Amino acid sequence: MNVVSFYRFFEVADPESAASHLRTQLGKLELVGTLLIASEGVNASLAHQDLDLLRCAVQLVETSTGASSLRAKYSTARPDNPVFYRLKVKVRDEIIQFGKPLTSSDPLGVHVQVNEWNELLDDPDVLVLDIRNDYEIEAGAFDNAVPVGIERFAEFESRIENLIEVHGKSTIAMYCTGGIRCEKASNALLASGCEAVHQLDGGVLGYLEMVKPSESRWHGECFVFDQRVSVDAKLSQGSYDQCHACRRAISETDKESSLYVKSVSCPYCFHETSERQKAQFAERAKQEALANARGERHVGVLQT
């Protein structure tokens, strides 16, 4: 299974019309995945066995929304992994939830490439921020990166004051999975008075695509928001599974723990949930198993 992900901030004149058209056209291609459209741009992750169809889908999004030269990143999953259950094309206020849309006049951080990024990692005067959620970081990270300490990206802005208090308004270099979160985070930091803000162009996925293995400073795997859970240094499906209760990436060793119950708990969250919550997770797993036995998909709701 092939996967393509991309985003772009630009002014979309008529998000509703573009979404309606793409819902029909992408549906004809029998793709699965999610495409978000807002007045501030587009954000997507789509999957299909046929790589050429995915390339066609990227072109359809470009022509239907007015985007130009979407920088698509391709990766793979195991053949038996559908990656997504179905196709969702939705109109949102934002393509990444932060609390306010990004405009073309908003200042952003300086995009840096692989070689520059490695230099920033080695610079003792640079604060390297990992702005991903804490549960993502457990699967892998860069050398010397400082976690912001959030469970949801929307919390980032509330952490800025503390970051500045602890580290000062120093030179900052930040990264996320694909780059989209850094766009809004860098704007928020600049608005708070930070003068030198850099962001890894293309995020971790772009870095792994471009860096030579001998020069890579990435350790572990990269968490992704689909059924693969993580990808390795070759952008192929990684080795992690996911706890359905807390969304953390879990290893085979984690599953050997007495605190691991499939779909109910893992060693990281066992003491964080009540017996009532565990019972709810168990019931959800039961309904999923019944749906699968009927040849259907039971899609529950897990908000984080």
Active site residues: 176
Tokens 């859970």 map to which residue? 229
Residues 141 and 129: their CA atoms lie apart, in Å, by 10
DSSP-based three-state secondary structure for 295: coil
Tokens 């723990």 map to which residue? 257
Joined tokens for residue 19: 């979404």
Contact 184, 108 (CB under 8 A): no
Cα dist from 173 to 32, 125, 131, whole Å: 34, 11, 10
CB within 8 Å of 239: residues ≥ 6 apart: 221, 230, 232, 251, 252
> Which residues does residue 43 pair with via DSSP β-bridges, in sequence order?
7, 36
Contact 176, 129 (CB under 8 A): no
Q: Which backbone phi and psi does 85 adopt, to 5 degrees?
A: -80, -35
> Which residues does residue 44 pair with via DSSP β-bridges, in sequence order?
6, 35
User: Which of 151, 106, 90, 111 lies closest to 9, judged by CA?
Assistant: 106
Cβ atoms within 10 Å of 236's Cβ, excluding its own: 12
3-class SS letters over 158-182 = HHHHHHHHHHCCCEEEEECCCCHHH
One DSSP character per residue, 52-119 reads HHHHHHHHHHHHHHT--S---EEEE--TT--SSSSEEEEE-S-SS-SSS---TTS--PEEE-HHHHHH
